[in-house]
Structure 1
């Protein structure tokens, strides 16, 4: 059965983007094979889930075909503390009629990151 293995993002500042993922997700910049172009592999829960290609460009990408990238499920308080400690702008919302809450965090270079958390399931009337 096919499953998503990783996302690949073109960035102009690989170190800053790697730091963003570390601060928000607790992810780690780890081993990357010796490709002939610069980049980073970001590990989430021991898996190289985010591949960053460092490219030259003059401005941030506008949000386009891919609106955002999502990871979950994390605990609310530690996640909020990491986001706020990094100074990243965010908003919270949730999936209607579910126990899934969402942080939408504005990252470097126009990246929007969703981080899900568990919340109490709303009571049904």
Structure 2
């Protein structure tokens, strides 16, 4: 058996519309085909790949389950993303990866899932960073 790549992540949500607004309106994914499951949700795409599945109507766990810490996406247009997060009042933390100089931006979705966005080292340092997560 060999792994050929990552298929998708699945997150639970307490509010499907809020989650879609974040992942579509803020992060730029698009909603696409989803099989007719018996429970509400959405499949969000990057290009033609459904990379994020959202499940609604299922209670969120009281305590975190498993050991997954965060989901990471390759991204572009750092300044546009920073401006969009600031416009929506979404706190974030931004730094350069030691040695690689890749930009790493961390924020949380409406239900608290940690999201990492990785930008090329060649992207210029953004201006007007107004909201930041604590350490």
TM bracket (short chain): 0.7 to 0.9
Q: 5+ unaligned residues in a row in structure 1: which ranges? A: none
Structure with bigger strand share is 1
Residue 60 of structure 1 contacts residue 109 of structure 1 at CA under 8 Å; is this kept in 2? Answer: no
Give the 5 Å matches for 1:1-125. 1-57=3-59, 62=64, 65-120=67-122
Q: 5+ unaligned residues in a row in structure 2: which ranges? A: 124-135
Q: What's the RMSD between the two structures over aligned residues?
A: 2.3
Query: Aligned in 2, Cα 1:60/1:80: closer, same or farther, shift over 3 Å?
Result: farther
SS at match of 1:110: coil
Query: Aligned in 2, Cα 1:33/1:102: closer, same or farther, shift over 3 Å?
Result: same
Structure 2 distance, partners of 1:21, 1:52, is 10
Structure 1 distance, partners of 2:61, 2:87, is 26
Structure with bigger helix share is 1
Q: What stretches of structure 1 move > 2 A for 4+ residues in a row?
A: 55-64
Residue 16 of structure 2 contacts residue 54 of structure 2 at CA under 8 Å; is this kept in 1? Answer: yes
What's the TM-score once normalised by structure 2's chain length? 0.78
What's the TM-score once normalised by structure 1's chain length? 0.83
Tell me the alpha carbon deviations over residues 25-70 of structure 1, each in whole angstroms, 9 at most, x when there is no partner: 2111222111111110011233211001113436776486111111
